[in-house]
Amino acid sequence: MNLKIKYFGMLTEVTGCTEEQFPLIEGNIADVLQLLMNKYPLLKEKEFQVAQDQVIVDIKKPISQGEIALLPPFSGG
C-alpha cells in the first residue's frame, strides 16, 4: 500500500519532483514527515503546512490511505 505525497512551490526544488509514492506506514503524519526529512534533509529548513486528502490538518493526525500534500507559503505578487 502506498501513500501519494505531493509537493508545491519551492519544496519541489528540494525533492526534485512534484509527487511521489511512499510506502504506507503506521503512525501519524509527523512520522511520515520525519521519514521525508531523512530522505530530503533540506526539507527541515522549509516552512510548510500539510494537507491530507485535500484538508489542511494537524501533523498529529493519524495517517490514512490517500494523499498528503506539503504546502509552502508564497510571498510573490
Partner 1 sequence: MEERYNRHIILPEIGIKGQEKLLAARVLLIGAGGLGCPIAQYLAAAGVGTIGIVDFDIVEKSNLQRQVLFGESALGKNKAIMARERLKDLNPGITIHAYPERLTPKNALDYFKEYDIIVDGTDNFFTRYLINDAAVLTNKPLIYGAIYKFEGQVAVFNYKGGPTYRCLFPKEPQEGTIPNCTAMGVLGVLPGIIGTMQANEVLKMILGIGEPLSGKILFYDALKHQTQVMKLNKNQEEIDKIYAQREEFTDREEVNSYCQTTTTTVVAIKDVLTWEDTQFIDVRNQEETPKINEIKVDQIPLDQLLLHKNQLANSKKKVIFCQSGVRSKKAVALLEEQGITNCWSIKEGAHQIKEILAESVMAIDKL
Which residues are near partner 1 by CB under 8 A? Answer: 8-10, 18, 45-47, 49, 51, 54-56, 69, 71-77
Q: Is the dihedral of CA 47, 9, 71, 68 positive or negative?
A: negative
Grid coordinates belonging to 73: 507559503
Rank residues 21 and 75 by Cβ distance to partner 1 and give the closer one.
Answer: 75
Rank residues 8 and 40 by Cβ distance to partner 1 and give the closer one.
Answer: 8
Rank residues 35 and 46 by Cβ distance to partner 1 and give the closer one.
Answer: 46
Shortest distance, position 65 Cβ to partner 1, whole Å: 18
- Are the C-beta atoms of 68 and 51 separated by less than 8 Å? yes
Q: How far is CA 64 from the centre of its chain?
A: 13
